[in-house]
Amino acid sequence: MNFLQQPPRFLFFTGKGGVGKTSIACATALQLAEAGKRVLLVSTDPASNIGQVFDVVIGNHITAVPRVPNLSALEIDPEAAAQSYRDRLVGPVRGVLPDAVVRSIEEQLSGACTTEIAAFDEFTGLLVDSAQTAAFHHVIFDTAPTGHTIRLLQLPGAWSGFLESGKGDASCLGPLAGLEKNRSQYAAAVKALADPSSTRLVLVARAQRSALREAERTRSELGNLGFARQYLVINGVYPQSGIAGDELAQALVNREQGALAQMPAGLAALPRDLIALKPFNLVGLESLRMLFRDVPGFVLSAPMATPAPAVSGTQSLAALVEQIAADGHGLVMVMGKGGVGKTTLAAAIAVSLAKRGMPVYLTTSDPAAHLAATLEGTVDHLDVSRIDPHAESERYRQHVLQTKGAKLDAAGRALLEEDLRSPCTEEIAVFQAFSRIIREAGRKFVVMDTAPTGHTLLLLDATGAYHRDVVRQMDASGLHYTTPMMQLQDPQQTKVLIVTLPETTPVLEAAVLQRDLRRAGIEPWAWIINASLSAAAPRAPLLVQRAANEAGHIDVVVRQHASRTALVALQRQEPVGLERLLDLAGNPARPAPAAP
């Protein structure tokens, strides 16, 4: 493995949910420990399962792993850290400031920014001259800080009082207001992260076009922040020896090889390792030892029956679209983490609705070429647009500078400009662009891909944005009114579809998204479990075993999270082009496929 050659003291594994960061971090820690190095494995993942992997209870303290000499582990609980962080900020002002102001502060501290910053606050000591880590040769981090977090920590400290005085605009800078430690300590931590002699950043991805695009964005963002020395690990690559005459397995190999051949140039230039897909769950020492080993011609110890594609409590995507079409118009928001297939499913739903002769407006904030490549054609009654996040962010920045900024002195304006370069500015700007489109849903279907997160909605609602201004003014007038936020909260007007994959991390991340949406007063209408092997009826032994592993995740979604669930099979061919999209979501010109 290239990324394990002459490893520095700190190893960070980063990548989107579900690509296998935790498994690779655990296997790395095990290999180094068994080579005689003293290793500390640190997780900052809210859904950390390193304790399950090693079959030992691990908490927010350094714990020796009994069966592995030289290995200890630590699980930083970001949610607990964030709650403690909020309490430190909000406690002193309770009973002093008006309740409405306190609630606004709590909401601004309720999102992902606060969790990231609080977690960073916790493990900074592990990076900078820490007595905790002095005894270890290597410290391995599962779930590294994102470029988003690092960008926030690089902002100047002077904005704290500036924002408190109300001169700043809605942003995610508020969570940083409680950092009472010397900022030089954070600067030292960021410097340590960027030093290739002490730190190695490992990007983890899958051999899929969408996952590689996500990895390239991460590479570019971190590179722009000074993290030039990065490594790439492509996990779960299907072994050509495991095809076993299965057309689905052959199609997967072809798709993966095509994605690798078209890898973005920036990623292709990085030192690269490929890890073969394994049929077993990566729990226990023997499984971890096998992760970095290729096992040609692997055969299951006992033959397994092909799992039935029918899963209790689920329906087909075509059946879900039929229910959406019955309303005649409305807003359909397709939400989920990167790499789960939101763009493809949004396009499939929009095309299927348009084929019924209904007017449909499909909009996205993803790159236009991606959506155009997915559709590969036009359909009557379907209009497609793209919201350019960069253009919308610049428009939003200019508007704020021309309004609030016009009354500031040079120093205040400089701080406001810095505030507006925060990562959340783009989220807010894109939401405002979406809001301009929402009104169209009263007379046609509007299908939105890459919708704003629940945190963005809470932030906007909590900072005196349009919704609260209208509510205050219109309640006094007695007139009927509807704001974009009210429309999103109305299940008669808006259907939110959460997309996930039948794997541990994507399901956990989707559940967190649903929780955030509910806090914003938005109830998801359905979940879509995408790319399911169990619905594709594979025959190759490796895929059969992987399909069997999905059952528990699907059951959790059906029984614990979703009011209705659609199950979409992993497709043999990339679902690109109008015909394949219609096959996915149901072509009303021919009988829809039966619900699985």
User: Which of 558, 539, 495, 53 is closest to 291 using CA atoms?
Assistant: 53
At 465, is the pLDDT very low, low, confident or very high (cuts 50, 70, 90)? Answer: very low
User: Does an H or E element contain 117, and which?
Assistant: helix 112-127
Position 444 pLDDT exceeds 70: yes
CB 426 within 8 A of CB 443: no
Question: Can you give the pLDDT at residue 463?
Answer: 44
9-12-14 Cα angle (round to 5): 170
314-388+444-585: what fold? Rossmann fold (3.40.50)
Query: Can you give the pLDDT at residue 41?
Result: 95
Distance CA 260, CA 237 (A): 10
CB within 8 Å of 411: residues ≥ 6 apart: none
Report, as an integer, the average pLDDT of 24-33: 95
pLDDT at 170 over 50: no
The helix/strand/coil state of 445 is strand
As a whole number, mean pLDDT of residues 45-53 equals 72
pLDDT of residue 160: 44
The pairing of strands 63-64 and 230-237 is unpaired
CATH 1.20.1300.10 given to domain 2-291: no
Query: What is the per-residue pLDDT across 51-80, written as a single tens digit (0 to 9) for each?
Result: 878 888 888 888 999 889 999 999 887 777
> What residues have CB less than 8 Å from 483, skipping those under 6 apart?
466, 467, 470, 471
Strand ranges (E), 121-196:
138-142
Please list the residue range(s) of the chain that carry CATH number 3.40.50.300. Answer: 2-291, 314-388+444-585
CA 172 – CA 427 distance, rounded (Å): 10
Question: pLDDT tens for residues 366-416?
Answer: 655 567 777 877 889 999 988 888 888 898 889 888 887 888 888 878 877
Res 462: pLDDT: 46
Q: Do β-strands 63-64 and 71-75 pair in parallel, antiparallel, or remain unpaired? A: antiparallel
| Distances in whole angstroms, Cα of residue 312 to Cα of each of 279, 352, 501, 555 | 24, 25, 17, 8
Alpha-carbon distance 580 to 34, whole Å? 49
Question: Residue 592's pLDDT is what?
Answer: 47
567 close to 535: Cβ distance less than 8 angstroms? yes
What's 40's DSSP letter?
Answer: E
154 confidence band (pLDDT: 50, 70, 90): low
Nearest CA-CA partner of 279 in 303, 259, 258: 303
Check residue 296 and give its pLDDT: 46
Which pLDDT score, from 0 to 100, does residue 408 have? 85
What is the pLDDT at residue 301?
42
Are 37 and 70 in contact, with CB atoms under 8 Å apart? yes
pLDDT tens, position by position, 501-535: 998 878 988 998 898 888 878 899 999 999 999 99
Instruction: Dump pLDDT digits (tens) for 76-108.
Output: 877 777 787 778 778 887 888 788 777 767 766
Q: What's the pTM value of the predicted model, to 2 decimals?
A: 0.78
Interacting residues of 50 by C-beta distance below 8 A, sequence separation 6+: 22, 25, 26, 41, 43, 58, 73, 75, 142
Q: What is the mean pLDDT of the chain?
A: 80
Choose from 133-142, 205-214, 275-284 the range with maximum mean pLDDT.
133-142
- Beta strand pairing call for 138-142 and 199-206: unpaired
Measured CA distances, 92 to 95, 115, 178 (Å): 8, 20, 12
User: Which residues participate in catalysis according to the annotation?
Assistant: 18, 20-23, 45, 505
**Cβ-Cβ contacts under 8 Å for 72 (sequence gap 6 or more):** 39, 40, 41, 62, 63, 64, 65, 136
Distance CA 142, CA 22 (A): 6
Asked whether the predicted pLDDT for residue 142 surpasses 60, the reply is yes
